[in-house]
Amino acid sequence: MKLQFIGALKFMESASQRPWLFFLILLIFSIFSRADQFCDAGLGFDESTCGTTSSSKLLIKGGTVVNAHHQEVADVYVEDGIIIAVKPNIKVGDDVAVLDATGKYVMPGGIDPHTHLAFEFMGTQTVDDFFSGQAAALAGGTTMHIDFVIPVNGSLSAGLESYEKKAKKSCMDYGFHMAITKWDEVVSQEMEIMVKEKGINSFKFFLAYKGALMISDELLLQGLKKCKSLGALAMVHAENGDAVYEGQERMIELGITGPEGHALSRPAVLEGEATSRAIRLASFVNTPLYVVHVMSIDAMEEIARARKAGQRVIGEPVVSGLILDDSVLWDPDFVNAAKYVMSPPIRSSGHDKALQAALSTGILQLVGTDHCVFNSTQKAVGIDDFRKIPNGVNGIEERMHLVWDTMVESGQISVSDYVRITSTECARIFNIYPKKGAILAGSDADIIILNPNASFEISAKSHHTRSDTNVYDGKRGKGKVEVTISGGRIVWENDELKVVPGAGKYIEMPAFSYLFDGIGKADAQYLSSLRAPVKRSQSTNLHSS
């Protein structure tokens, strides 16, 4: 080390006599000395891992490889971020890194269909951005998410430009949904651009948040028709916004200003009504519909009815609705109660078990999180008025563990079903399968190794989100993600994160997923069933009078 230091001094002395070389050295030194600015200092993991890379060649050996429809004991060979082979006893050279997965499950990384990172809402912004939120996701076994772009003053293009800037620090792959908050010819044209040029194949319509994001039935109808013509999936936040507004006013008049007022003002019947309305309008247009964050029996039953009738409706419960009940909103500690405020609200005991059952029987298809995190200081803005509490809870890091413990360990679903509801079905719905959501030759190397015999414990003190609270704090269970591989890189191992800002890629999602198969045929059958228009001859009776 001493010899290296002396050598460096002599080199600098020589360089000082060549100004151009001297300034080049200073520039290089400046870049390296400031490299920590590219790392995130607030995540609770070692900054030295920032910039860590791994071998471009990787063998995962001896694990049980699980896909949505089958499982087998096999090796998985990865090269340059792509799965090259899945078969037993793969032989490799000394230049290949090897992970032993004997006795463990090797599965596709999770895909979270519903997140809000760097989201400006209710006068503030979520604490997790595209780096911290994604880092937390990777620690929990999720390797891709789809975030919601909110238009800027109604402009889809301006909204997308804003989110593209936010996503530059991404450390894992991501896609975008687009919200629609107004309707005119410009929005209609921009929807075409989003689908045909920007890789966005889904649009969200809010039936809640009166005076902000809420849209009318007329706008929803126009949006549904446009989605159908583009082969894009229409999504709805289903609550009756007018009735919710009335419920909020009622609670304030009664002096109910705390977090419990949030749940009381948005009863399950209003979620059920809006779900039914959206489903029936989608049926009228004959286009697929995706209902986000299904939180109640009322909404679930509307989805079940429609699916039984053959309608193409997707129901997405979120982890909080599967795990929690609304008793937490009556906690006398405001900080603890407020952290659970989200919309639609967490429901009373019984709804959670019903949603689990619906997920296990296929009435509901996949699990999201609606990860939308505000800290306790931000939530405290509503200490005297629950209407001002920023809505949102965490879940992007906890989803894979909690779904395993709740659904697989309890015997409600199989291991293959777990892969389906946490990864594969999302990839199919948004038309990126088998690039994502599969352990197959040619698929992206987004992989997790889950140890079914290991235990996990969730704590706000050790999680990787920037929030100072956690709605699952203290929960324990079995089934732990021990390794996460993103794009062929080991990013989570031995409880350590190794993430690279900017390593994540934007994943374009093509239009016309499998949900649109047969739509044209159904339209033709509908037209042939009308027995109209009727050809009538001019009646002489009209003239005789």
221-251 tens-digit pLDDT: 999 999 999 999 999 999 999 999 999 999 9
Residue 348, CB-side half-sphere exposure with 13 Å CA sphere: 7
Q: What does the mean pLDDT of the chain come to?
A: 92
Q: Is residue 30 part of a domain?
A: no
Do 450 and 481 form a contact (C-beta atoms < 8 A)? yes
Q: Is residue 423 part of a domain?
A: yes
What's the rounded Cα separation, in Å, for the pair 17 and 491?
44
Of 18-22, 133-137, 339-343, 377-381, which range is least confident? 18-22
Omega before residue 510 within 30° of 0, cis = no
- Phi, psi of 513, deg, nearest 5: -70, 180
Nearest to 275 by CA among 226, 222, 236: 236
What's the rounded Cα separation, in Å, for the pair 496 and 447?
16
Decide: helix, strand or coil at residue 423: helix
504 lies in which domain range? Answer: 107-519
Task: Give yes or no for residue 54 having a pLDDT over 60.
Answer: no
Nearest to 519 by CA among 306, 304, 283: 283
C-alpha separations of 499 from 116, 179, 459, 505 in Å = 20, 29, 21, 13
What's the rounded Cα separation, in Å, for the pair 261 and 264?
5
Q: Is residue 524 part of a domain?
A: no
**Can you give the pLDDT at residue 537?**
87
Decide: helix, strand or coil at residue 318: strand
Q: Is residue 87 part of a domain?
A: no
CATH number at residue 257: 3.20.20.140
* Amino acid in the structure at residue 355: L
C-alpha separations of 129 from 90, 229, 471 in Å = 40, 34, 19
- The DSSP H or E segment spanning 100 is strand 97-100
Task: Give yes or no for residue 183 having a pLDDT over 70.
Answer: yes
Do 146 and 133 form a contact (C-beta atoms < 8 A)? no
List residues bridging with 30 in a β-sheet. Answer: none
Task: Give yes or no for residue 34 having a pLDDT over 80.
Answer: no
- The DSSP H or E segment spanning 429 is helix 425-429
Which residues contact residue 26 at a Cβ distance below 8 angstroms, ignoring those fewer than 6 apart? Answer: none
Q: Is residue 314 part of a domain?
A: yes
Decide: helix, strand or coil at residue 74: strand
Do 485 and 407 form a contact (C-beta atoms < 8 A)? no
Q: Is residue 426 part of a domain?
A: yes
Question: How deeply is 158 buried, as exposed, middle or buried, from its count of CB atoms within 10 A (0-12, 13-18, 19+)?
Answer: middle
Q: How many domains does the chain have?
A: 1
Burial 394-412 (b: 16+ CB within 10 A, else e): bbbbbbbbbbbbbbbeeeb
Q: Percentage of the chain surpassing pLDDT 70?
A: 89
Does this model's pTM top 0.85? My answer is: yes
- Give the pLDDT confidence of 426-477 residue by residue, as tens digits: 999 999 999 999 999 999 999 999 999 999 999 999 999 999 999 999 999 9
The whole-number average pLDDT for the span 73-89 is: 99
At residue 78 the predicted structure's pLDDT band, cuts being 50, 70 and 90, is very high
At residue 543 the predicted structure's pLDDT band, cuts being 50, 70 and 90, is low
What's the rounded Cα separation, in Å, for the pair 409 and 479?
8
Nearest to 425 by CA among 32, 111, 89: 111
Q: Is residue 437 part of a domain?
A: yes
What's the rounded Cα separation, in Å, for the pair 443 and 57?
15
Task: Give yes or no for residue 152 having a pLDDT over 70.
Answer: yes
What's the rounded Cα separation, in Å, for the pair 304 and 299?
9
The whole-number average pLDDT for the span 120-142 is: 97
What's the rounded Cα separation, in Å, for the pair 533 and 530?
8
Q: Is residue 130 part of a domain?
A: yes
Task: Give yes or no for residue 496 having a pLDDT over 50.
Answer: yes
